[in-house]
Structure 1
Amino acid sequence: MSIIEQNKLEPVSLKDVTINDHFWAPRRKINREQTIPFQYKQCKETGRIDALKLNWKQGDPEIHPFWDSDVAKWIEAASYSLATDPDAELSKLVDEVIELISAAQQEDGYLNTYFTAVKPGKRWTDLRDAHELYCAGHFIEAGVAHFQATGKCSLLDIVCRYADYIDSVFGPEEGKIKGYPGHQEIELALIKLYHVTGEARYFRLSQFFIEERGNEPHYFTEEKKKYGPGYFEELFSTFANLKEYNQSHKPVREQDKVVGHSVRAMYMYCAMADLAKENGDEKLREACDRLWNNLHYKNMYVTGGIGSTAEYEGFTCDYDLPNESAYAETCAAIGLVFWNHRMLQLDCDRKYADALERALFNGVISGISLDGKKYFYENPLESLGEVHRKEWFGVSCCPPNISRLLGSLGQYIYSQSDSEAIIHLYVSGSAKFKLANQEIKLNQTTNYPWDGNVSIQLEVENPVSFALKLRIPSWTKSAGLKVNGEMVSLENILDKGYVRIEREWKNHDQIELILPMTIEKVYAHPSVRQNRNHVALQRGPLVYCIEGIDNTHYLSQLSLPRDKELTAIFDQKLLGGIVKIVGNGEITEVYDSEDLYQTKPFTTKSFEMTAVPYYAWDNREAGPMKVWIPES
């Protein structure tokens, strides 16, 4: 048995998890009541939904090749919401859109509005650029989510027909296309479809797309020779290495450095982890490990944001992490959550849950306003005051992506094996596990992320033996544990950053986890040239920033003395109720002179600095922002 097979976990089903805390529950409520209806309106008004009617004609505004994916992600987000909070009106709306999708599907199973209405006869001629398989993947994910949420097969049957058709077109067999998507996505979607249907052909097709990528002769080179320039030829002609841009520069098992477009990379790595888990494939897992190390140790922002350049929405070189020009696309941080969640099921190692949590609490939810109506496509770590969230985008992948993550949040909190119940994230609510032939319920009570005290109570019908594992986040330095009121030493029960308590559990047994939250000053690796002599502030899982509204509109003149203490204060009235950080900073006094340069050093004066969680910036009046603060 491989290491992967020994350690395999399964997430607890979304339907078996409830969330009723003060941090996530309000956001999920806003997602249900504001965001999902608003996104439907945007998809309707911008023509994305009506494009499914296939009545486009020459002279009309052109349907975008990505549009199907936006509609599919909206259905997926709505389905997750229906799974936990049934809503007859939303269900009816989803059914209406599914009817349009059904009518748009061709007799052979093909389903794509752009290539059916705008470019008929051009199917599969632009895999590199036109997102045909990417859109198919999002339809498949939506079909799986809708079936799991509602039990209805209406969309699942549609996507199975489409997947069957795609399987008849692509593969290693004689006469089939030996290509793969320019934008990865369908690979992970097919694994989901395989899990729901048990149809092995979907698994093999996912495996084909992954294993074929990067082989010679290079498919995209041959495609261009055969069919001519792709949809984005003008843009892509400016890229130094287009093969690296879409991670087709070498076979996936040989890749060891994150390159190219960050979202494409994350979705591909997700599929690699899925396949490694299904097959017990150690070599594929080793490739994931190499890529994970390169990303997390050399190419990730302190917020969990990834992809530093807007030029091609991706990675540049190791340790290149500019702040003001940081791209850090919301979709990329979401992809990082997806990938770390999959790695966590392969191996219950704290580093994956820590990375998931960092991205989730910082780089992901910064992408949506507190009222759930505006979005960041990119998430800089510094702004002069000109960067603001918007209601929608021409390419609007991020809004429905963040909505589907919020809707499915419950499945990221817990996992289980045959003999273990595992808590990765601390969120008030409950979860049901099937262990030792009975249902076990865990009830969490906590004020996380403002407080690190977590209380867990068990509900069991009969005394039962199993192991309970609790993550000790790397940001806490002196965790404590009590079982039924008695202190328990962590010395011999830590397993890759998780406390493992194996015993016979009885009804109403109580576990208390104490995770002290102190204000930490974070320093970047010296090779990150942009952050030399700067410091970032973190408390618990949250990264902080300073905004002009709380401090001064000349944030560049503010610094933090190394030896001054900082204080955490809960402010119920600020930004929906947050813990802010306050302390003595220093601000440079500017002489009354118009000279741009001078030989006399400037002096400083004390200044009361206030920092707020990074996710909450740009929710008040416009102004500058900084994560990394000069240290004096």
Structure 2
Amino acid sequence: MKHAVSGDRLQPLSYREVRVHDPFWTKYVALVRDEVIPYQWEALNDRIEGASPSHALQNYRIAAGEEEGAFYGYIFQDSDVTKWLEAVAYSLASVPNPKLEQLADATIELLARAQQPDGYLNTYFTIGHQDERWINERDNHELYCAGHMIEAAVAYYETTGKGKLLDIACKFADYIDTVFGVEAGQKRGYPGHQGIELALVRLYEATGQPRYLKLSEYFINERGQEPNYFRLEADGRAARFGQNYLLREPYYSLYKDGFAYNQSHLPVRRQRHAAGHAVRAVYMYAGMADVAAAFKDPELIEACRKLWDNVTQRQMYITGGIGSNHDGEAFSFDYDLPNDTAYTETCASIGLIFWAHRMQRLDPDRKYADVIERALYNGTISGMALDGKSFFYVNPLEVWPQACQRPDKKHVKPVRQKWFNCACCPPNLARLIASLGTYIYSQTDNSVYVHQFIGSDTKVNLAGQSVQLSQQTNYPWDATIDLAVSPDQPAAFTVAIRVPGWCENPSIVVNGQRVDIQAAMTKGYARINRVWEAGDVIRIELTMTIKRMYAHPNVRVNAGKVALQRGPIVYCLEEADNGAVLPDIALPEQAPLEARFRPDILGGITVITGEARRSSALGWEETLYGETKRADVVFPIQAVPYFAWANRGEGEMQVWIRER
């Protein structure tokens, strides 16, 4: 076992150190605080009329012996509560709310009462399944639920200073450490649904206890070794319950061809192609990056980089969505990116951000921040309605509402749902938005990195000075960012500013003096090294033009099609603006396009307008097929940001447009 070392990698500034005051994101942060968190509390208590029941808090009360009844819901229902607690923690960090904190404290007390004397905490097994602990970690999500609880515990401790939930998490983690490992009597296992790996690293960072980091490293290194633990585990269940028992297991069919579904088909250091359940994969990749960084493990770092390249260059949608296959919510094969059956679970884009954030700590390359930006502005917030009261689990790139009744498209919903039986996405999105400040800045001893252009204030210690940073912008609609840099005393240090990959002609000016960006550029960051004084201002101009985006020729479904992007925002056509039969619309290759801000629709957005062509229906009213090519007519189109689709009722939508 190697020993962890600190190193000089980028350290992100905590959400507690960054105050967001951004015209675009502040409304989302406020929406999570004022609408989503209270709404989700009502959902967790089964008080949303017409929504799928949760029963999650009721399960905890039954497990604590305070009420009678049976467990209800998915086996991982506990995690809905702890993700809610994590979102609460981040929200309290930005805006204190005594009533909300009291509600969270009472929930934590409930978890404490449900915890077993040995530290175990999982309501499904406490309620009537005590003798089935750890017999099917492949499917039963015990370690997954523990991971989400640990993350909530760390966040709540960091924000409030209260250690109750952290004590619960440590007690559980200590127990887990006795169950899994290489010592005699321990299980040589690992989670079926990853997530505890990155959580244990956070617990190590919060407590300083190296056993948590070592346990995370163990889970990473043990995965996929032969003999495969899940095969041995299944043999044990067959011996105990009979072979027919295995055939009735809900996940049985997903493993008929091996163990790629949960990425245990190979040791992680040999994995090069992203496979299996997309959320499990990116949670694991994030944990791999954490462990690789902590131990300065070059072999594990290289595996992370190879997997990153495969995901982002072969299997990622233009919206930052991943996991194209609805069968198993999974990655498929390279360039298989169907639009109308895309699964692209909201949680998968969120997990991609978690992973990219950790890769960015390993290597300050803009490609990671670019993906964070793409997913933030497109594939994540599309999962929530603009009023915060309905949600998408699946985020396709093309929808024909009537076709959603077909068996192969039933996972696609043309409108957002109030809640889900499997409600992982809404609280996951809430915790992402509430912790947004985490993704904006990083630092080393003598440099501060600006990764995301989000209006915010923070303080950092650089070159022995306290430095105030204040970012002002109307991004993503406007291309201008003003960054005030004010040290207490004049000091020499570096401010590194990401130049997005989509920006061709950026301009950076410090106190009116233009910066030679090409000379200052390192891995996509313009590094400005000078003696900074209070009142210095960096003005960044990113020249947002409307871009016609094309897919790799191997992405067959997008042959002859174009997508529209302005800045970080990917656009789509909706029936509400363009009528039905959107696939009939063709955009001429040289057609001029115009961007303009529309304060009157969808909460205020920049739209793209232009003239396209579509077929005339004249003479075709009663004819299904004919010999005469349909005549084209000029047709005005309006494209709206993908994240805002399906907020004006049910209708067609598509991102990729035929080009002619």
TM bracket (short chain): over 0.9
Residue of structure 2 aligned with 1:574, choices 592, 601, 607: 601
CA gap of 1:436–1:132, structure 2 versus 1, over 3 A, is same
8 Å contact from structure 1 (residues 62, 118) kept in 2: no
Residue of structure 1 aligned with 2:648, choices 611, 616, 620: 620
1:435 corresponding residue in structure 2 = 462
Deviates most, 103-112 or 43-52:
43-52
1:329 corresponding residue in structure 2 = 345
Q: Using the alignment, how far apart are the partners of 2:57 and 2:385 within structure 1?
A: 25
**1:227 Cα deviation from its structure 2 partner:** 1.8
Q: For residue 208 of structure 1, give the secondary structure of its aligned residue in structure 2.
A: helix
Q: Does residue 379 in structure 1 map to residue 395 in structure 2?
A: yes
**1:240 Cα deviation from its structure 2 partner:** 4.9
For structure 1, the 5+ residue unaligned runs are none
Query: 2:475 is matched by which residue type in structure 1?
Result: Y
Q: Does residue 454 in structure 1 map to residue 481 in structure 2?
A: yes
Q: Using the alignment, how far apart are the partners of 2:449 and 2:78 within structure 1?
A: 37
Query: 2:638 is matched by which residue type in structure 1?
Result: T
Q: Where in structure 2 are the equivalents of 1:396-475 lying within 5 Å?
A: 396-475=423-502
* Alignment deviations for residues 178-199 of structure 1 (CA, whole Å, 9 cap, x no partner): 0001000101100000000000
Q: Does residue 51 in structure 1 map to residue 67 in structure 2?
A: no
Q: Does residue 490 in structure 1 map to residue 517 in structure 2?
A: yes
Q: Using the alignment, how far apart are the partners of 1:260 and 1:425 within structure 2?
A: 30
**1:330 Cα deviation from its structure 2 partner:** 0.1
Q: Using the alignment, how far apart are the partners of 1:313 and 1:235 within structure 2?
A: 12
Q: For residue 628 of structure 2, give the secondary structure of its aligned residue in structure 1.
A: coil
Query: 1:190 is matched by which residue type in structure 2?
Result: L
Q: For residue 519 of structure 2, give the secondary structure of its aligned residue in structure 1.
A: coil
1:209 corresponding residue in structure 2 = 219
Deviates most, 454-463 or 141-150:
454-463
Q: Using the alignment, how far apart are the partners of 2:250 and 2:119 within structure 1?
A: 32
**1:393 Cα deviation from its structure 2 partner:** 0.4
1:8 corresponding residue in structure 2 = 9
2:31 corresponding residue in structure 1 = 30
Query: 2:392 is matched by which residue type in structure 1?
Result: F
Residue of structure 1 aligned with 2:302, choices 286, 291, 294: 286
Q: Using the alignment, how far apart are the partners of 1:155 and 1:348 within structure 2?
A: 34
Q: Using the alignment, how far apart are the partners of 2:575 and 2:252 within structure 1?
A: 38
**1:234 Cα deviation from its structure 2 partner:** 3.9
1:554 corresponding residue in structure 2 = 581
Q: Does residue 149 in structure 1 map to residue 159 in structure 2?
A: yes
8 Å contact from structure 1 (residues 440, 458) kept in 2: yes
Q: Does residue 99 in structure 1 map to residue 109 in structure 2?
A: yes
> Would you say how many aligned residue pairs link Structure 1 and Structure 2?
629
Q: Using the alignment, how far apart are the partners of 2:319 and 2:248 within structure 1?
A: 31
Residue of structure 2 aligned with 1:565, choices 592, 595, 599: 592
Q: Using the alignment, how far apart are the partners of 2:66 and 2:93 within structure 1?
A: 34
Q: Structure 1 length as normaliser, TM-score?
A: 0.97
1:504 corresponding residue in structure 2 = 531
**1:16 Cα deviation from its structure 2 partner:** 1.3
2:273 corresponding residue in structure 1 = 257
Q: Using the alignment, how far apart are the partners of 2:103 and 2:11 within structure 1?
A: 32
Query: 2:39 is matched by which residue type in structure 1?
Result: F
1:348 corresponding residue in structure 2 = 364
Q: Using the alignment, how far apart are the partners of 1:11 and 1:626 within structure 2?
A: 36
Residue of structure 2 aligned with 1:163, choices 166, 173, 182: 173
Q: Using the alignment, how far apart are the partners of 1:393 and 1:63 within structure 2?
A: 11
Q: Using the alignment, how far apart are the partners of 2:372 and 2:564 within structure 1?
A: 19
**1:429 Cα deviation from its structure 2 partner:** 1.7
1:247 corresponding residue in structure 2 = 263
Residue of structure 2 aligned with 1:194, choices 204, 208, 212: 204
1:275 corresponding residue in structure 2 = 291
Q: Does residue 172 in structure 1 map to residue 200 in structure 2?
A: no
8 Å contact from structure 1 (residues 180, 212) kept in 2: yes
Query: 2:418 is matched by which residue type in structure 1?
Result: E
2:572 corresponding residue in structure 1 = 545
**1:438 Cα deviation from its structure 2 partner:** 2.5
**1:242 Cα deviation from its structure 2 partner:** 4.2
8 Å contact from structure 2 (residues 224, 268) kept in 1: yes
8 Å contact from structure 1 (residues 39, 74) kept in 2: yes
Q: Does residue 517 in structure 1 map to residue 518 in structure 2?
A: no
2:321 corresponding residue in structure 1 = 305
8 Å contact from structure 1 (residues 7, 346) kept in 2: no
Q: Where in structure 2 are the equivalents of 1:218-237 lying within 5 Å?
A: 218-228=228-238, 229=245, 233-237=249-253
8 Å contact from structure 1 (residues 331, 401) kept in 2: yes
**1:596 Cα deviation from its structure 2 partner:** 2.2
1:69 corresponding residue in structure 2 = 79
Q: Using the alignment, how far apart are the partners of 1:231 and 1:543 within structure 2?
A: 44
Q: For residue 132 of structure 2, give the secondary structure of its aligned residue in structure 1.
A: coil
Query: 2:399 is matched by which residue type in structure 1?
Result: S
1:133 corresponding residue in structure 2 = 143
8 Å contact from structure 1 (residues 9, 346) kept in 2: yes
CA gap of 1:336–1:27, structure 2 versus 1, over 3 A, is same
Query: 1:349 is matched by which residue type in structure 2?
Result: D
Q: Structure 2 length as normaliser, TM-score?
A: 0.93
For structure 2, the 5+ residue unaligned runs are 47-53, 239-244, 405-413
Query: 1:48 is matched by which residue type in structure 2?
Result: A
**1:49 Cα deviation from its structure 2 partner:** 0.8
* Alignment deviations for residues 287-340 of structure 1 (CA, whole Å, 9 cap, x no partner): 001100111111000000000011100111110000011000000000000000
8 Å contact from structure 2 (residues 70, 127) kept in 1: no
Q: Using the alignment, how far apart are the partners of 2:155 and 2:423 within structure 1?
A: 20
8 Å contact from structure 1 (residues 129, 230) kept in 2: no
Q: Using the alignment, how far apart are the partners of 2:197 and 2:541 within structure 1?
A: 40
Q: Using the alignment, how far apart are the partners of 2:478 and 2:44 within structure 1?
A: 39
**1:64 Cα deviation from its structure 2 partner:** 2.9
CA gap of 1:421–1:57, structure 2 versus 1, over 3 A, is closer
**1:37 Cα deviation from its structure 2 partner:** 0.6
Q: Using the alignment, how far apart are the partners of 1:326 and 1:311 within structure 2?
A: 10
Q: Using the alignment, how far apart are the partners of 2:468 and 2:117 within structure 1?
A: 47
CA gap of 1:6–1:479, structure 2 versus 1, over 3 A, is farther
**1:455 Cα deviation from its structure 2 partner:** 0.6
* Alignment deviations for residues 578-598 of structure 1 (CA, whole Å, 9 cap, x no partner): 100000011111242333222
CA gap of 1:56–1:102, structure 2 versus 1, over 3 A, is closer
* Alignment deviations for residues 452-479 of structure 1 (CA, whole Å, 9 cap, x no partner): 1111111221101111000000111000
8 Å contact from structure 1 (residues 571, 577) kept in 2: yes
**1:441 Cα deviation from its structure 2 partner:** 0.9
8 Å contact from structure 2 (residues 246, 252) kept in 1: no
8 Å contact from structure 1 (residues 484, 510) kept in 2: yes
**1:528 Cα deviation from its structure 2 partner:** 0.5
**1:56 Cα deviation from its structure 2 partner:** 9.4
* Alignment deviations for residues 158-190 of structure 1 (CA, whole Å, 9 cap, x no partner): 100000010011111121110001000101100
8 Å contact from structure 2 (residues 346, 425) kept in 1: yes
Q: Using the alignment, how far apart are the partners of 2:479 and 2:229 within structure 1?
A: 51
Q: For residue 600 of structure 1, give the secondary structure of its aligned residue in structure 2.
A: coil
Q: Using the alignment, how far apart are the partners of 1:305 and 1:428 within structure 2?
A: 25
**1:491 Cα deviation from its structure 2 partner:** 2.0
The percent of aligned pairs where both chains have the same amino acid is: 48
State the superposition RMSD in angstroms.
1.5
CA gap of 1:344–1:236, structure 2 versus 1, over 3 A, is same
Query: 2:445 is matched by which residue type in structure 1?
Result: D
